[in-house]
Amino acid sequence: MSLYSAWTQIAFGNKNQEVEIAFWKEFCGAEKSFYEYILENYQRVTEGTVKEFAEQLGTSNEFVMGFLDGINDSLVNPLTLEEITEDSLVKLEIDFEKLYYNMHEAKADYLYTLPQWEPILTQEKRKEIEKAQKRSKIVVKEEKIGRNEPCPCGSGKKYKKCCGQ
């Protein structure tokens, strides 16, 4: 079984609600530690094996895999998660603006409110990204053309006799 399969089985294969809540509470704590580490060391590209990351953070390979699953959309070069083993070299070149945006998308306030963001993105930039994420959720209903209105193509005919056929 691949490390990614093991992660998905652990994360999403539990039917007991109490166990699931305890799991996600534990994982979110580990994830927060991982992000604190990544954000504190933002000036250098972070790389290492899954096993090394797990040892550095005092967590399991599966939790590191869960972190990689969560951050993958924010990487400059996304990883092929299914191929990663504990000895695979993982290079994390992070697009921090995209990461901040994705944290808002996931409603992970325990991550996007970390003080480690301050040297990476200015307060103004963080507000701008937050607004952009909120705007992306607004649905703008396009105005429909009435069948008896003039056709927008400029022919002078009614819409129903022109492009509306």
Burial label for 67, CB within 10 Å (0-12, 13-18, 19+), is buried
Where exactly are the structural domains of the chain?
Answer: 3-121
Q: What is the pLDDT along the chain (165 residues), one digit of tens a residue?
A: 789 999 999 888 877 888 888 899 999 999 999 899 889 888 776 888 999 989 988 899 999 999 999 999 999 999 999 999 999 999 889 999 999 999 999 999 999 999 999 999 999 999 999 999 988 887 777 788 888 989 888 888 998 898 888
pTM above 0.75, yes or no: yes
